[in-house]
Chain A
Amino acid sequence: MNQPPVDDLADAPAEDRLAAAIAGIAGQDPARSAVVTAAGSSGRCSVDYATLAAAVSRLEERLDAVRPVGVVARATRVESLLVIAAACGRQHVPVAFLAEDSRDLVGELRDWIELDDALEVPPAPASRPRREFDTVPPPVVVATSGTSGPPKLVEHSWDSLLAAARLAEQWHGLAWLLVYDATRWAGIQVWVQALLTGGRLVVPASRDPDAVARALVEERVAILPATPTLLRRLTASADRSLLAEVTLDRITLGGEAADAPLLEQARLVFPAARITQVYATTELGEVFRVADGRPGFPANWIGRALPGGVRLSMRRDGELLVQLSRDSAEVGTGDLVERRGDRYEFTGRRSDVIVVGGAKVLPGRVEEVLRSVPGVAEARVYGLPSGITGELVAAEVALADSLPEGCTADGVRGAALAACRSVLEPHAVPRILDIVRRIATTAAGKTPRRPTLSPHP
């Protein structure tokens, strides 16, 4: 079995590794599939390592001739993004990935050239600044997801981008599903991981639960990195018989907190898959992993150094603070945690807290109650501005495909409100509860915390 030259890779500078890995595998096993797009549909398209490696060398030559100040990756095809990243890294050209909602930020990258799927580097006019090959490694610029605030550009090093990649032999040659946006931190982590280990990146035709399930089955995907929101949609809404054929080894959850009911549901639907929860932020990168299948993290992790030197602590209001190493500063994460038995569990983002007449409401807690109601498949809770109480708790609920015996949509809605009234404080009970066909997700695959802009039914 051909393996990527990982031993050599580890010695190479981080910014060279992606291009080196692609070339290495292309040399040993040129026809090996690197990227499959529109997986699980009739439009399926596979790109092998040799094709990818040739595209990287071509782009490297052009970049070396023009020496742009930086490259904004404008490509829409995943394989083009990989080629741009690999070529820019090895040519020491700064590269930026701008997701759909952060395109406005391109103004901050004046003088950078834009590369689309054609991968044509425009010839350099005399007026355009050049940036000679610099021995200092170039940055990788990524926009934050903007789930609860406007997106902003964050500069990363190649070292931090590659830091979380698992390179041990057990990770080689696997199929990875990409449900994340390929231009965001979480998505970039997935394709970097797949390529560095000679794996296959599988991109489903859409994020529709059935399309995701078909891609998992037809490509025999081994690893599914996803947000809890995307996993919940998949397990709650995808075709049962398709899900039964899925051969996942591992599910890696990140981006949001996973609650106990979701972890339980995932265990039932994918009994053979190990579930790992990754705690990472765009600013800090990966901070820690929890692999015991329970929500949150062990309570005794607070206040002492974890393997790797990370130190966790808590602000008085419950915000989790992270110190990556002894020499680095303590950073507020914006995530709220709460002690429950021998665990600390995530209760929500500080910025997502809804304030109703001065009292705080954590939307995640309300969503948990709504989802526990028979007939409810998905829920999202957000704050609506109110001239009287500041904000009002509002919720959207998507119903399960088959409702419990004798149940109507209106009946489920009434039961959901009654459940909230019986366990939540009065100000936390949703005052607006809409039944929707499907809960929207953000481009980052998370549950949006702001009112939608579209008119209500």
Chain B
Amino acid sequence: MSPQVEAAVTAAISAVLRDTGRGLRPIEPGMLLAADLGLDSLDLAQTIVLLERTLGCDPFRSASSTTPALRTVADLITIYSRTLGQP
């Protein structure tokens, strides 16, 4: 997992939590997006737009069948790392 991608993902999720008035909390790769962080589909859509701005790509725009499972923070980091060719 690229540290640069991990930092961007953590920052994006923090921004989403702050903008929606839920306050800051530590974010770990092993956390579940929905169960642990309380992110719903709108939160996720916002995270992806923010990541497109910082990382310059949106892996979810071309809904390819190869998109892997997206349950944890680590899944998100992996998807972006692959798209950016930084395994």
- The answer to whether B19 and A389 have CB atoms under 8 Å apart is no
Q: Point out which of A356, A386, A433 has the most chain B C-beta atoms below 10 A from its C-beta.
A: A386
Q: Point out which of B19, B44, B48 has the most chain A C-beta atoms below 10 A from its C-beta.
A: B19
Is B7 at the interface (CB under 8 A from chain A)?
A: no
- The answer to whether A386 and B45 have CB atoms under 8 Å apart is yes
In the assembled complex, the Cα of A418 lies from the Cα of B42 at a distance in Å of: 17
- The answer to whether A418 and B21 have CB atoms under 8 Å apart is yes
Interface residues of A (CB under 8 A from B): 356-357, 384-389, 392, 394, 417-418, 421, 426-427, 429, 431-433, 456
Determine the residue in chain B with the shortest Cβ distance to A427: B42
Complex interface residues of chain B between 14 and 52 (CB less than 8 A to chain A)? 19-21, 41-42, 44-46, 48-50
- The answer to whether B19 and A388 have CB atoms under 8 Å apart is no
Chain A residues, Cβ within 8 Å of B44? 388
Determine the residue in chain A with the shortest Cβ distance to B70: A388
Number of interface residues of B (CB under 8 A): 16
- The answer to whether B21 and A431 have CB atoms under 8 Å apart is no
Determine the residue in chain B with the shortest Cβ distance to A422: B21
In the assembled complex, the Cα of A417 lies from the Cα of B15 at a distance in Å of: 13
Determine the residue in chain B with the shortest Cβ distance to A357: B41
- The answer to whether B49 and A384 have CB atoms under 8 Å apart is yes
Chain A residues, Cβ within 8 Å of B53? 456
Given contacts A387-B45, A388-B45, A418-B21, 7 further A-B contacts (CB under 8 A): A386-B48, A387-B48, A387-B58, A389-B42, A392-B45, A421-B21, A431-B42
Q: Least Cβ distance of A422 to chain B in Å?
A: 10
Beyond A387-B61, A387-B63, A432-B49, whether A357 also contacts B21 by CB under 8 A is no
- The answer to whether A392 and B46 have CB atoms under 8 Å apart is yes
Beyond A357-B42, A392-B42, A431-B42, whether A417 also contacts B21 by CB under 8 A is yes
Partner of B49, one of A392, A421, A426, A429: A392
- The answer to whether B19 and A431 have CB atoms under 8 Å apart is yes
Beyond A431-B49, A432-B49, A456-B53, whether A389 also contacts B21 by CB under 8 A is no
In the assembled complex, the Cα of A417 lies from the Cα of B17 at a distance in Å of: 12
- The answer to whether B58 and A426 have CB atoms under 8 Å apart is no
Partner of B19, one of A357, A392, A433, A456: A433
Chain A residues, Cβ within 8 Å of B46? 392, 431-432
Partner of A417, one of B19, B45, B48: B19
Determine the residue in chain B with the shortest Cβ distance to A432: B49
Chain A residues, Cβ within 8 Å of B49? 384, 386, 392, 394, 431-432
Q: Least Cβ distance of B54 to chain A in Å?
A: 10
Chain A residues, Cβ within 8 Å of B42? 356-357, 389, 392, 426-427, 431
Complex interface residues of chain B between 47 and 82 (CB less than 8 A to chain A)? 48-50, 53, 58, 60-61, 63
Chain A residues, Cβ within 8 Å of B20? 417, 421, 429
Chain B residues, Cβ within 8 Å of A427? 42
In the assembled complex, the Cα of A433 lies from the Cα of B46 at a distance in Å of: 11
Chain A residues, Cβ within 8 Å of B41? 357, 388-389
Q: Least Cβ distance of B21 to chain A in Å?
A: 6
In the assembled complex, the Cα of A431 lies from the Cα of B16 at a distance in Å of: 8
Chain A residues, Cβ within 8 Å of B19? 417, 431, 433
Determine the residue in chain B with the shortest Cβ distance to A389: B45
Beyond A356-B42, A456-B53, whether A388 also contacts B21 by CB under 8 A is no
- The answer to whether B60 and A387 have CB atoms under 8 Å apart is yes
In the assembled complex, the Cα of A385 lies from the Cα of B58 at a distance in Å of: 11
17 interchain pairs, CB-CB under 8 A: A384-B49, A385-B61, A386-B48, A387-B45, A387-B58, A388-B45, A388-B48, A389-B41, A389-B42, A389-B45, A392-B45, A392-B46, A426-B42, A431-B45, A431-B46, A432-B49, A432-B50
Chain B residues, Cβ within 8 Å of A426? 42
Chain A residues, Cβ within 8 Å of B60? 387-388
List the 5 closest pairs (A to B, CB-CB), nearest first: A387-B60, A431-B46, A388-B45, A386-B45, A389-B45
In the assembled complex, the Cα of A175 lies from the Cα of B24 at a distance in Å of: 57
In the assembled complex, the Cα of A290 lies from the Cα of B84 at a distance in Å of: 56
Chain B residues, Cβ within 8 Å of A388? 41, 44-45, 48, 60
